[in-house]
Structure 1
């Protein structure tokens, strides 16, 4: 049975509904290139490798033209290992933007004691995320969110599912043909769970906080990034926005939906790519702080354009490649930042 048909059948069993959009290489980005999503080996590429298609039919692999600014004082490390981090503050909300290299992983401990995990980096980051969670005394996970099928977001989730009891899994209704995505689906099925659809307007039941998905607002065909589950999270008067890899199309749809969007802390979309965090979106969110989850990469993340946009907006910015795991503590009124490095 072809791989694409197998993926559709598996997802239809696990998701609440069977209508899914299949991933495909997709459109080019603002730099004229894109990442490979399907049949990569046939093109001589790795899954997720950034590249350009030349007019003569050949392929060039190189980073975008908007390079990342050189790190100041600290150098970003490409060694993948867990940072030493402190346990959550009792009676307060603790949000950990975990250092997992080039990828996304965020752990939230609510004041009421619930555990939430949003993504878990690449496949090789699975053990690292498990190590973080064990450092933090996690015994089970109430909510797991897979923002979208890209391997640098869901790669480690199967390892987490095999290491902790997970009570609920949320993901947007979009599929992919990679082994990484298939491993995630199989791990969910093995735990006897059914994936709940993450979509705009859906509230996530968590005691003591208000958590609601703002995206995806629509369906986005083969553009996996715009399918990203975007979560708005409020504790007391403090607000957080977790964006996955949502790009400008999704950002514009979220703005147009007129839902409450402002946040004190913004997890920058797509690792600081120029395709995300538009000027309009940044203005609508109006954050005081921003976190870029990023590691050593060939994509030019984070783009100088985005770094400068944040500086112009006077947003205090942290980067996991420079600052290590970034921890945000909220008592419901004030926000305090802690960083490893």
Structure 2
């Protein structure tokens, strides 16, 4: 039985309850991928089997305080890697506060900018910390944890709009895998398919909050996930779109949503998952 370790008070779902406390060996062999509830935005916190940390995105500007609290809740005072998938505010809005409050190793962002105060504030925080931005692009393997393969699959092209320039990250631990897509849309999805990279993943972060511009049928067939997470909150866009929800249902994908279930955690021992949700 896989033992679940939680950094906050979450309920077990139908995956099963755990009665025995974890041993130190079991703790050391777990990968945790947390889809933080940041409302209509996105943020994923990853903690590796050896305790390395990675944060991908940090929600909108109004989530700054929540992001700092989340890191405290999970006992994170250093982020070995920070990734801003693209410069839209609902993904990078809270990153400046995160960088201001914790020690940071490396920062990755795609070569695309935005003429906004949010983007400028992030760049200022990076500069004030004495950090430099490494280019997020396809083909990069991140030096994070010897037991975990972390590869960027996109962006492949240059000069596209912000969403299609999103950094897409595949995380593989043993026989388990996650595909974290930012706001990548159909153009980026096609480029990833055409690249010939292995896109299959057990857990898919549904692109662009469940917008119909993402999660094309061809891409979904390539990924062929067992689980999907939609990072979405109250919004006026109609996210997630019924078209996408129906597409996932037809593929028998088990869907988790931040707006319905709060923060969602996946914990992997390299073979199995324990899934928990906040509500």
> Shared topology, TM-score over 0.5?
yes
The structural deviation recorded for 1:300 is: 0.7
Q: Does 1:177 align with 2:115?
A: yes
Structure 2 gap segments, 5+ residues each: 1-7, 12-21
Give the distance between the partners of 1:84 and 1:321, measured in 2 at CA.
17
The structural deviation recorded for 1:235 is: 0.6
Could you tell me which residue of structure 2 aligns to residue 43 of structure 1? none
Give the distance between the partners of 1:262 and 1:216, measured in 2 at CA.
18
Instruction: Give the match's secondary structure for 1:142.
Output: strand
Could you tell me which residue of structure 2 aligns to residue 228 of structure 1? 166
The structural deviation recorded for 1:129 is: 1.1
Q: Which of 184, 189, 209 is the matching residue for 1:246?
A: 184
Could you tell me which residue of structure 2 aligns to residue 280 of structure 1? 218
Equivalent pairs counted in the alignment come to 257
Give the distance between the partners of 1:125 and 1:166, measured in 2 at CA.
19
Could you tell me which residue of structure 2 aligns to residue 67 of structure 1? none
Instruction: Give the match's secondary structure for 1:211.
Output: strand
**Contact 1:220-1:226 at 8 Å conserved across structures:** no
Give the distance between the partners of 2:196 and 2:159, measured in 1 at CA.
19
The structural deviation recorded for 1:220 is: 3.5
Q: Does 1:162 align with 2:89?
A: no
**Contact 2:10-2:276 at 8 Å conserved across structures:** no
Could you tell me which residue of structure 1 aligns to residue 263 of structure 2? 325
The structural deviation recorded for 1:84 is: 4.4
Q: How does 1:67-82 map to 2 (within 5 A)?
A: none
Flag the structure with larger Rg.
Answer: 1
Normalised TM-score (structure 2) = 0.90
The structural deviation recorded for 1:184 is: 0.6
Could you tell me which residue of structure 1 aligns to residue 27 of structure 2? 90
Aligned CA RMSD, in angstroms, stands at 1.3
Structure 1 residues 128 and 134: CA distance shift in structure 2, 3 A: same
Give the distance between the partners of 2:37 and 2:134, measured in 1 at CA.
27
**Contact 2:31-2:267 at 8 Å conserved across structures:** yes
Give the distance between the partners of 2:182 and 2:110, measured in 1 at CA.
11
Could you tell me which residue of structure 1 aligns to residue 194 of structure 2? 256
